[in-house]
A and B are shown apart, each in its own frame.
Chain A
């Protein structure tokens, strides 16, 4: 192994140690499933490593990693067994919502359900814009689409989430905004 390769591996180790958590959180928001999120992070890192010599010095690898992760997810969505899982009513790895949920628990269930109903690109745009706090320009770069497309996708996604939140009780909304 050359010194350059060794240096690349060292920096990749460091990157993985530092970035696994935020990447997992992003993956979870995108797919809504713990195990799927872990698969996505691992798959994304494998692909990221293959480009590591090119990205480590040129761009912020975090942004590139998010881009890779997102592409992994968008394409995994197309996998037949992923669609089968989402259609077949498989038991999710979070509990079914109870009927008397209040506050944050209710909020999470409402948001989870609303997110699930969003088309993939809308969901990605909403997560990148309103959770990752990326600008429209950054989101467009990650999604590889126009800024106008990001605006329309995120506006539609946001409207859907808003509609879902409008049906929540005052208690949960209060907790949400506190």
Chain B
């Protein structure tokens, strides 16, 4: 019997406050990362390898110092620049990048920083060296580590320690191999402590027992040791976990106003016998309350920031939970799927509406969605969704259409 464990885990999961995710920001971020990766690769492979290797070989320990005269504005930018400059020498000839491996263990070849109590940046990519795929991961921060942190004997077989040495510039390095049993992966890892306190962790990962030698030689992985220097005076950049700047609304009371408008329309729409269900299995935020925030809308990193308001509302009837998600905004933030056809209607006040119904097989969920554009430009998006507990929509199209004229952004 595992019901108690399931319920206990459910109680714990209930603590999770849902992340506030701006889908457009995610898309923008993903596109920027893809573009940067392509640019990095173009730079890397367009460079004449021999010339690059010769330059680096003549002065291998001063690569990061060469960049000191360049003004870096962010830590992320600094590390990306250092990586781009050194990349032709770091990646062995004949290796090719395996594109679009989002499910792989590494992000693309762009440093992404975490702005938390302990800042740090990481990057990585999957390459193919002709024998097989190799994940390369690089982390840069200021926290000293040792191999026992990475290779817990409980699930790791420690391998050979190849190098534990000081380089001429005072950089301390350790290189070793190990195998991670649960994931059936083998690792070649370099740990670096630079004289300025920079800590670097470089790891190559490949499927267990698929090659007789690590994909990088000791000399090859040691090339990473002197590339990076962490400048703690720089801001981290545009970390994924924080907006770049705080958005200031032109109407601080907008959330309260559209919340009242929501309450008014719900009173008209919700059938008798339904009860509010604030403690559903998937709580979103304080139910029946609109939260308004600014988010980037449109492609590119300089896309305008537009305010939009969002709410989730839960009701319970005799069949179970029936959920509403609502968006009120000056632009179309959420769109409607009309692949299977939408009922289109222009209301008497000029509001243009589209209504769709579909069963989303993958999640066994029914959705009844309204998208409306009011004459004043207010965009309204309402989705009612429920599980398979009922065969028909709990609201008619006409009932759903009452939301179309309820809000003014």
Binding site for B on A (CB under 8 A): 1, 9-14, 16-18, 20-29, 34-35, 37-39, 41-43, 45-51, 54, 60-64, 67-68, 71, 74-75, 78-81, 83-85, 87, 90, 94, 104, 107-108, 111-112, 115, 119-121, 126-127, 130-131, 133, 144-145, 149, 153, 158, 161-162, 165, 173, 176-177
Which of B2, B16, B149 is the one whose CB lies under 8 Å from A83?
A: B149
Q: Which residue of A lies closest to B99 (CB)?
A: A50
Binding site for A on B (CB under 8 A): 2-21, 23-24, 26-27, 29-30, 33-34, 100, 102-107, 112, 114, 116-120, 122, 137, 139, 141, 143, 145, 149-150, 152, 154-155, 182-184, 199, 201, 203, 240-241, 282-284, 299, 325, 333-335, 337, 362-363, 365, 383, 385
9 A-B pairs with least C-beta separation:
A47-B102, A28-B16, A60-B362, A16-B23, A121-B182, A38-B19, A131-B9, A81-B120, A49-B30
Which of A11, A37, A51, A104 is the one whose CB lies under 8 Å from B19?
A: A37
Residues in B with CB closer than 8 Å to A37 are 16, 19
Are A71 and B105 in touch, CB under 8 angstroms? yes
Question: With A24-B19, A62-B363, A68-B102 known to touch, is A158 a contact of B27 (CB < 8 Å)?
Answer: no
Question: With A29-B9, A119-B155 known to touch, is A81 a contact of B337 (CB < 8 Å)?
Answer: no
Are B143 and A84 in touch, CB under 8 angstroms? yes
Are B240 and A46 in touch, CB under 8 angstroms? yes
State the CA gap A56–B103 with chains docked (Å). Answer: 14
Are B183 and A145 in touch, CB under 8 angstroms? yes
Are B117 and A85 in touch, CB under 8 angstroms? yes
Which of B8, B18, B122, B240 is the one whose CB lies under 8 Å from A165?
A: B8
Are B7 and A71 in touch, CB under 8 angstroms? no
Are B21 and A12 in touch, CB under 8 angstroms? no
Residues in B with CB closer than 8 Å to A115 are 12
State the CA gap A133–B5 with chains docked (Å). Answer: 11
Are B11 and A104 in touch, CB under 8 angstroms? yes
Are B183 and A74 in touch, CB under 8 angstroms? yes
Which of A74, A81, A119 is the one whose CB lies under 8 Å from B116?
A: A81
In this complex, the member of A17, A41, A60 whose beta carbon has the largest number of chain B beta carbons within 10 angstroms is: A17
Which of B24, B103, B184 is the one whose CB lies under 8 Å from A68?
A: B103
Q: Which residue of B lies closest to A146 (CB)?
A: B184
**What are 27 A-B residue pairs whose CB atoms fall within 8 Å in the complex?**
A12-B23, A12-B26, A14-B334, A14-B337, A16-B23, A17-B383, A18-B363, A18-B385, A20-B19, A23-B19, A28-B12, A38-B19, A46-B33, A49-B30, A50-B102, A60-B363, A74-B105, A75-B105, A75-B106, A79-B139, A84-B118, A119-B152, A121-B155, A127-B9, A130-B2, A145-B184, A161-B8
Q: Which residue of A lies closest to B325 (CB)?
A: A17
Residues in A with CB closer than 8 Å to B365 are 18
State the CA gap A22–B21 with chains docked (Å). Answer: 13
Are B100 and A24 in touch, CB under 8 angstroms? no
Are A153 and B182 in touch, CB under 8 angstroms? yes
Residues in A with CB closer than 8 Å to B30 are 46-47, 49-50
Are A10 and B335 in touch, CB under 8 angstroms? yes
Residues in A with CB closer than 8 Å to B335 are 10, 13-14
Residues in B with CB closer than 8 Å to A47 are 30, 102-103, 107
Are B15 and A48 in touch, CB under 8 angstroms? no
Are B5 and A45 in touch, CB under 8 angstroms? no
Shortest distance in angstroms between B75's beta carbon and chain A's nearest beta carbon? Answer: 13
Q: Which residue of B lies closest to A111 (CB)?
A: B8
Are B23 and A17 in touch, CB under 8 angstroms? yes
Shortest distance in angstroms between B17's beta carbon and chain A's nearest beta carbon? Answer: 6
Are A39 and B241 in touch, CB under 8 angstroms? yes
In this complex, the member of B13, B16, B24, B385 whose beta carbon has the largest number of chain A beta carbons within 10 angstroms is: B16
State the CA gap A24–B201 with chains docked (Å). Answer: 28
Shortest distance in angstroms between B324's beta carbon and chain A's nearest beta carbon? Answer: 12
Residues in A with CB closer than 8 Å to B150 are 78, 83
Shortest distance in angstroms between B334's beta carbon and chain A's nearest beta carbon? Answer: 6
State the CA gap A38–B24 with chains docked (Å). Answer: 16
Residues in A with CB closer than 8 Å to B6 are 130-131, 133
